[in-house]
Amino acid sequence: MSSIVWFEIPADDVERAKSFYGALFGWKIEKVPGMTDYWHVDTGGSDDAPDGGVMKRQEPQQQGITNYIGVASVDESAAKVEKLGGKICMPKTAVPQMGYFVICRDPENNTFALWEKAQDAK
């Protein structure tokens, strides 16, 4: 069974979002070295609890929190998304030395992402 492994919160004002979530939940939110406009969210949970990121909103229609669901293969799962009536919004993308993701939309117009862990990702 697949589970949520990461989440992303888009923000118009990243400092405001960091202050809000930090104060509300006690999360530590720190800039990711080498990345522009992306901050790591440490939820303080166990190692298997999902952490996430806060990022500058990329486009006005980017709304809501995107959950990343761990799968064995983003290629196979993306094909299944389309077979079941969903849509691929962003094709397979590598996060070097971490894995691959695909951004999807379900038939109800909700955005989610597939995540495949792969240390050899380039």
Contact 56, 8 (CB under 8 A): no
Look at residue 1 and tell me if it is in a domain.
no
Place of tokens 């990702």: 121
Task: Output the domain CATH number for residue 42.
Answer: 3.10.180.10
For 48-95, the pLDDT digits (tens) are 778 999 999 988 877 889 999 999 999 999 999 999 999 999 999 999
Is 87 among the domain residues? yes
Look up the pTM and report it: 0.86
Asked whether residue 51 falls in the same domain as residue 13, the answer is yes
Residue 15 near residue 7, CB atoms below 8 Å: no
Total number of domains constituting the chain:
2
Do residues 50 and 75 both lie within one domain? no
* Domain extent at residue 25: 6-57
Residue with tokens 């939940």: 25
pLDDT one-digit tens code per residue, 90-109? 999 999 999 999 999 999 88
End-to-end CA distance of the chain: 26
